[in-house]
Amino acid sequence: MEKLCSKIRAAIDKYSMIDEGDTVAVGISGGKDSLVLLECLCRIRQYYPKKFTLKAITCDPCFGGKETDLNEIGHLCERWGVEYIICRTSLAKIIFEERKEKNPCSLCAKMRRGILHKAAKENGCNKIALGHHFNDAVQTFVMNLFDCGNISCFSPKSYLSNRELWLIRPMIFCEENEIVRAANKYKLPVVKSECPADGNTERKAVDTLIKELKVKYPDIEAKIMGAMQRGNISGWGL
């Protein structure tokens, strides 16, 4: 966990993600990425020179009409002294039953973002920390290139003027395999997604493609990341 904390702090410092007095909402999906992010930010908060407050927010889609059991995540937040806010929703019903979306991920992500942004603002947060990591960034770049013909990616730090909120992604230098090891080692309470589309997405297909390319080009991910930084794509070169 110490190595991940070091990489997260490096990202925070490089892109000026946290300022004195910030109240940061950590978006908790229940997956390994967001839980490791929360654990690391709680540790960093203890020694970081700029004092900040953490809150955790989960948007529960309520798959199958049932509330997700988030008790263990609640206990983790209690241990670290972090307020935990759960937003129960009808997202699953709207997307899969009422609208019967054939490609549900985009709409679901958009609606969850809206709920998260609203909850963060209502609970006094000025920043939202998301659990996107190094591999997510590379995959997003490739998806945007192949699917949309755009040279772009999500940004390490961006401002939502309509909400007056900053979005920060402190794990952009952390690789997925490191995150998996940390989540397992520290027995973080990962909640398995009940989404019917889980594991059958465009992102998963791109992940598979990149793994195939790595057989011939082992450092392809590092080269893509380096290209984004050198070209200052979507603010990565700041």
DSSP class per residue in 114-125: HHHHHHHHHTT-
Tens digit of pLDDT for each residue in 11-27?
999 999 999 999 999 99
Which whole number is the average pLDDT over 81-98? 84
pLDDT for residue 197: 66
Tell whether the model's pLDDT for residue 200 goes beyond 70: no
What is the percent of the chain where pLDDT is above 90?
Answer: 71
The answer, yes or no, to whether residue 209 has pLDDT greater than 70, is: yes
Task: Give the mean pLDDT of 152-165.
Answer: 93
Contact 153, 233 (CB under 8 A): yes
Mean pLDDT of all residues belonging to the chain: 91
Two structure tokens written together for 132: 């996107």
Beta-strand runs (E) in the chain:
23-27, 53-60, 83-88, 127-129, 157-160, 165-168
- Read off the CATH number of the domain in which 230 is found: 3.40.50.620
Give CA–CA dist 111/63, Å, rounded: 15
Task: Report how far residue 197's alpha carbon sits from residue 205's, in angstroms, rounded to the nearest whole number.
Answer: 13
> Which range in 50-54, 115-119, 201-205 is most confidently predicted, on average pLDDT?
50-54
Alpha carbon distance 228, 216 (integer Å): 21
Q: How many domains does the chain have?
A: 1
Nearest Cα neighbor of 130 from 155, 95, 108 is 155
Question: Listing from the earlier edge strand, what are the strands of the sheet with 83-88?
Answer: 83-88, 53-60, 23-27, 127-129, 165-168, 157-160
Q: What is the reported pLDDT for 199?
A: 59
Q: Give the pairing of strands 157-160 and 165-168.
A: antiparallel
Cα–Cα distance, 74 to 72 (Å, whole number): 5
> What is the arithmetic mean of pLDDT over 188-201?
76
State the residue range of the domain holding 30.
2-235
- Check residue 107 and give its pLDDT: 77
216, pLDDT greater than 90: yes
pLDDT in tens, 59-89: 888 877 788 889 999 999 999 999 999 998 8
User: What angle do helix axes 176-185 and 2-14 make, rounded to 10 degrees?
Assistant: 130
pLDDT top residue among 157 and 1: 157
CB neighbours of 228 closer than 8 A, spacing ≥ 6?
Answer: 137, 141, 153, 234, 236, 237
Size of the chain, expressed as the number of residues it contains: 238
Q: How confident is the model at residue 7 (pLDDT cuts 50, 70, 90)?
A: very high
Q: pTM of the full predicted structure? A: 0.90
Is 40 in contact with 163 (CB distance < 8 Å)? no
